Chains A and B, each alone.
Chain A
């Protein structure tokens, strides 16, 4: 096994882009896990320091006097205390983005994980048992596939209220169909292979064959799908936030972006910073996913 990992590792790292993606993701994970211990409290408000620009930038702050009809304007400069600036409540954006990384990764990994588990189990079961089971499961997969995914997501989140866990569960429960089909077809071709046939003849239990042999063998697909799905999920959460259905109690990148998008021409950094992070993260996962796919592809 170890040799196999090494082999694929080498193949993956052949692609410079994939290597970059991996490095970025590792850094992001480290930042998400340990970062919050170093940055300040992302929820610490300080209205005296609101809308501070990032270091190196400056901006005018104006307050209207309703009695005189005049504006009082001061020029504010970014400071090292808040290197990435602050939002309209004076919260430190660096701290918010770091804790937002946690949220976005949490959503991406958990929802994808859930979808993959459901998809693999359904796909492998379907392929392994065939016949009626296969038919029923695949018909169900068809119904789920036919459902407009984003519409369903919005519908459920709207009806039951936006909470992060609900969003994760809904994405997980609706996003497994592609995996199920792919895993099924891969497993179907595996099933006909000699060693599985041999195991069946030898009387191994179904569970054992599925979990010990079939799933590990379709693992390559699962890994690739996971890497490609995670950015999709992160973007789906951001899109939900964009239309105002993000979980209001956690500051995901999508939520921060949503809070800043109406003032892009003034306090631009509030929306631009999470936008860039979102973009880079999705890019990194795509790079890595692509590299992995190539690595697992025996024709290359």
Chain B
């Protein structure tokens, strides 16, 4: 097991390097420059554009040859220096340290919401297969999967914040993280981000539970006269979770970098999503590379966790 983990870690470093290199060169070979975003206003105001572009690029060291920039970058990364973010004027790592928690709380709560409700509804739906409750659950889960989350977010704000005044129209970062007020402020964002996943998990859990309900060991357990609660809670659920864990892990990357970003924009949450996408638009490549790299590492980490979780959930799986 230990050797297996070590191998995976080395492998993860290799993949991280691949992702890093790919991102770096993608950014640097593109025709855009960090000065671009000023050009619109500068041209409008009749300013000396060429001089300004030269000044901006000189300041960021972009006038050096590409391979030197690449080697310099790797060198400073190895020394633990993630560089300076020119579009926000602070060290890249500090920027990420400040903002990751906004994404983290949103994603964590959304996943809890999605997993908890997804499993609950999914199992219930499976147990009550072909009843009215099952049909309703199925129908709504389809709606949940199909509704574009940015659309849902806008609608929720329009109804609950503007018309009904129940919630604030934007997320307030001055709220203490562990407070009821913060939890309340996150209700709409969590629904916006979590609904799609929740609906998807409902589908998977239902299917997976149904499959397991037909298995022999369930029949045996039932034949033994164990109450449904025990059969489902102990035998079915545990086995049904196996594929669901994979799905959740697989979904996570999309949630973090897709849905979370859109949700952050709509609710004005200054999370990593906003930070990284603004960095893209600002050609702030230090931040883009760092975020991509971290995203990749997190994904790799969760993959590893999934694999390990498998060995516990399913004793038949062993890694040598």
Asked whether A283 and B150 contact (CB < 8 A) given A146-B296, A154-B277, the answer is no
Complex contact B265–A243 (CB within 8 A): yes
Asked whether A257 and B292 contact (CB < 8 A) given A146-B300, A158-B280, the answer is no
Is A235 part of the contact surface with B, judged by Cβ < 8 Å? Answer: yes
Complex contact B15–A142 (CB within 8 A): yes
Complex contact A148–B253 (CB within 8 A): yes
Indicate which residue in A235, A243, A257, A279 contacts B277 across the interface (CB closer than 8 Å): A243
Please count the residue pairs between chain A and chain B whose beta carbons lie under 8 angstroms apart in the complex.
107
Q: Mark out the residues of chain A between 136 and 154 whose CB falls within 8 Å of any chain B CB in the assembled complex.
A: 139, 142-143, 145-152, 154
Q: Mark out the residues of chain A between 220 and 261 whose CB falls within 8 Å of any chain B CB in the assembled complex.
A: 231, 235-236, 238-239, 242-243, 257, 261
- Give A279 to B19 CA distance when docked, in angstroms: 34
Chain A, interface residues (CB within 8 Å), range: 35 or more
A155's closest neighbor in chain B, by CB? B280
Nearest-neighbour CB distance to chain A for B14, whole angstroms, equals 8
Asked whether A148 and B292 contact (CB < 8 A) given A159-B26, A265-B158, A283-B143, the answer is yes
Is B54 part of the contact surface with A, judged by Cβ < 8 Å? Answer: no
What is the predominant secondary structure among interface residues of chain B facing chain A? helix
Q: Which chain A residues lie closer than 8 Å to B151 at the CB level?
A: 257, 275, 278-279
A140's closest neighbor in chain B, by CB? B18
Is B261 part of the contact surface with A, judged by Cβ < 8 Å? Answer: yes
B12's closest neighbor in chain A, by CB? A146
Q: Mark out the residues of chain B between 248 and 276 whose CB falls within 8 Å of any chain A CB in the assembled complex.
A: 250, 253-254, 256-258, 261-262, 265, 276
Complex contact B148–A146 (CB within 8 A): no
Complex contact B145–A155 (CB within 8 A): no
Indicate which residue in A143, A158, A231 contacts B15 across the interface (CB closer than 8 Å): A143
Q: What is the 8 Å Cβ interface bit string for chain B, positions 288-304, against chain A (1 contact, 0 not)?
A: 10011001100110000
Q: Which chain B residues lie closer than 8 Å to A149 at the CB level?
A: 253-254, 257-258
Q: Which chain B residues lie closer than 8 Å to A147 at the CB level?
A: 19, 22, 292, 295-296
Q: Mark out the residues of chain A between 256 and 282 whose CB falls within 8 Å of any chain B CB in the assembled complex.
A: 257, 261, 264-265, 275, 278-280, 282
Nearest-neighbour CB distance to chain A for B243, whole angstroms, equals 13
Is A156 part of the contact surface with B, judged by Cβ < 8 Å? Answer: yes
Q: Which chain A residues lie closer than 8 Å to B158 at the CB level?
A: 264-265
Complex contact B15–A146 (CB within 8 A): yes
Chain B, interface residues (CB within 8 Å), range: 35 or more
Q: Which chain A residues lie closer than 8 Å to B27 at the CB level?
A: 155, 159
- Give A152 to B23 CA distance when docked, in angstroms: 8
Nearest-neighbour CB distance to chain B for A177, whole angstroms, equals 10
Complex contact B26–A155 (CB within 8 A): yes
Indicate which residue in B15, B145, B147, B295 contacts A151 across the interface (CB closer than 8 Å): B295
Complex contact B32–A158 (CB within 8 A): yes
- Give A264 to B281 CA distance when docked, in angstroms: 26
Complex contact A159–B15 (CB within 8 A): no
Q: Which chain B residues lie closer than 8 Å to A148 at the CB level?
A: 253, 256-257, 292, 295-296, 299
Q: Which chain B residues lie closer than 8 Å to A280 at the CB level?
A: 146
Complex contact A151–B257 (CB within 8 A): yes
Is B154 part of the contact surface with A, judged by Cβ < 8 Å? Answer: yes
Q: Mark out the residues of chain A between 111 and 168 whose CB falls within 8 Å of any chain B CB in the assembled complex.
A: 139, 142-143, 145-152, 154-156, 158-160
Complex contact A17–B142 (CB within 8 A): yes
Q: Which chain B residues lie closer than 8 Å to A286 at the CB level?
A: 142, 145-146
Is A287 part of the contact surface with B, judged by Cβ < 8 Å? Answer: yes
Is B211 part of the contact surface with A, judged by Cβ < 8 Å? Answer: yes
Q: Which chain B residues lie closer than 8 Å to A261 at the CB level?
A: 154
Is B225 part of the contact surface with A, judged by Cβ < 8 Å? Answer: no
Is B31 part of the contact surface with A, judged by Cβ < 8 Å? Answer: yes
User: Can you list 13 A-B contacts with CB-CB less than 8 angstroms, sorted by A residue number?
Assistant: A143-B15, A146-B296, A147-B295, A147-B296, A148-B256, A151-B295, A235-B148, A236-B258, A243-B265, A243-B277, A275-B151, A286-B146, A290-B142
Question: Chain B residues in contact with chain A, CB under 8 A?
Answer: 15-16, 18-19, 22-23, 26-27, 30-32, 138, 142-143, 145-148, 150-151, 154, 158, 162, 203, 211, 214, 250, 253-254, 256-258, 261-262, 265, 276-277, 280-281, 288, 291-292, 295-296, 299-300
